[in-house]
Amino acid sequence: MELSRRDALRAGGGLLAAAALSGCVEERVTRRETRVTDNSAWSLSTATEDVALSATEFDNYTERMADRYGDSGVWGSDGDPGEEFETAYVQRYAIKRETPGSPTESEFDLVPDNVDPEAPMLIADSCVALYRTDDGRHRYWLWAATDSTDSRLVRDVNVTEIAAGVRFRDAPLDDAAVPSALGDEATASLGTPPSASFPVRGGALDVTNVRDDTSVYVVEWGGELDGIQSVNGVCEVSHPGAYEFEWTMSLGYNFYETV
């Protein structure tokens, strides 16, 4: 049967209408990433010793962190703390569920038990411990760790950043370790204690080492990990008299949504 020109146009129009109609129900699937980073800073000196830990208290703390983070604890897989302990500070840091007005709301405290967020996105623990060397210098031992598989978290996230650092005024760095990954492990050491090796589960390590009027030392891991990651670092400083420094930490995560 032959179609007239008018019938053919009508048939074509029907096909176009059907195509247009089917196009209305198509869905475009997009994978969207949300990335959040936040940080803390504490000014510490003998004036803040009311929240500092004694040698016994610090030993107990490191044992608890080993239970929590395994070989990513304060002393890693084979740490040697040394003997000339002076003092230590610890903190817990939590990034809470983002809200429209505050996308990186956080909670942190030098008394870890004071941090109990209702809806944590990611939680980290960290410490800085001071040791005195035989020649009167000070070594600052740094550690920070986080676990994106923590059952307390309200969302599946990946760790993207964990860092710990110190800043000194009028106290130049005499020495600073540069941990670098060899395979899946890195070591923070200045040749004598304190020192430790810690796992590196992908990503990359980076060290900031500024020796100037204001000295800065930061050890940072960056990547994308669903699991536990820690960082360790150690630096040596000469400063007469009592200690005074700024302790910093940063933490980051990301997650993906289908929209």
Any idea which of 11-15, 48-52, 159-163 has the lowest mean pLDDT?
A: 11-15
Q: How confident is the model over 168-224, as pLDDT tens digits?
A: 987 888 999 999 888 899 999 999 999 999 999 999 999 998 877 789 999 999 999
SS3 string, 53-112, reads ECHHHHHHHHHHHHHHHHHHCCCCCCCECCCCEEEEEEEEEEEECCECCECCCEEEECCH
8 Å CB contact between 192 and 82: yes
**Chain segment 81-104, per-residue pLDDT in tens:** 887 899 999 999 999 866 555 556
Q: pTM for this one?
A: 0.86
pLDDT value, residue 4: 45
What is the chain's mean pLDDT, rounded?
86
Q: Which of 101, 98, 133 is nearest to 117 (CA)?
A: 98
Residue 151 to residue 65: CA distance in whole angstroms: 16
Using the predicted structure, report yes or no on whether residue 134 has a pLDDT greater than 90.
no
pLDDT-derived band at 116, boundaries 50, 70, 90: confident
Question: DSSP 3-state assignment of 20?
Answer: helix
